[in-house]
Structure 1
Amino acid sequence: MKALPLKQTDADRAVADLAFAVTSAEIKEIVEEYETLAEERSGVGDRMSEVMARAKARGYDTKILRRIIALRKRHADDLAEEETILEIYKSALGM
């Protein structure tokens, strides 16, 4: 037996319209928030570049500064283990 399509009432259409409006508003909010964060990230990146440019102008090695920053993010135990392995390998190579 074939199912007959349900008749849509005005109340059904109102609920569907409200659901669409809520979904649209939520999607718009998500997109706008993401765009705002992307702009902020770009601004932060620009400021970080300015800090490194200032360091370079003062004569500091920015490559080393970036490495120090990366090292500071890591756990001390991980760093110690890496340094130990590095020394072992260097010793094996006569360095």
Structure 2
Amino acid sequence: MSTINFEDGASANTGGVAADRLRSIIERVERLEEERKALSGDIKDIFAEAKSAGFDVKVIRQIIRLRRQEPAEVEEQETLMDIYRRALRM
């Protein structure tokens, strides 16, 4: 099944692929990638602000990572860290 794509926006199928649907999906992904790029810039600006205010950005990133985890998982990691530090006499 093959249909020609028309420039007037008429729906067309080529090899069973709906061109309008495919175009819509691609354009949505492209818009979201642009939004992600803008958000990444905003996040970078916030970290720069934190650094200029005297905060340690590396530690802030660690805290953000910990906040994404389940409390039980964080507790387990902290317990293991303590055990390993004591084993190494740190």
Fold conserved between structures, TM > 0.5: yes
Q: Which structure carries more helix by proportion?
A: 1
Letter in 2 for 1:20: N
Q: Residues 15-71 of structure 1: CA distance to partner in whole angstroms, max 9, x if unpaired?
A: x53661770001100110000000000000000001001111111111111111111
User: Quick check: 1:93 aligned with 2:57?
Assistant: no
Corresponding residue number in structure 2 for 1:20: 13
* Structure 1 segments unaligned to the other structure (5+ residues): 1-12
What is the TM-score normalised by the length of structure 1? 0.77
What value does the CA root-mean-square deviation take over the aligned residues?
1.9
Report the TM-score, using the length of structure 2 for normalisation: 0.81
Amino acid at match of 1:40: E
- What is the correspondence of 1:61-72 to structure 2 with a 5 Å cutoff? 61-72=56-67
- Assess if the C-alpha contact under 8 Å between 2:12 and 2:20 holds in 1: no
Q: How many residues are aligned here?
A: 81
Gapped regions of structure 2 (runs ≥ 5): 4-10
Which structure's CA Rg is the greater one? 1
- RCO comparison, higher one (Cα < 8 Å, 6+): 2
* Structure with higher strand content: 2
Distance 2:46 2:88 in 1: 38
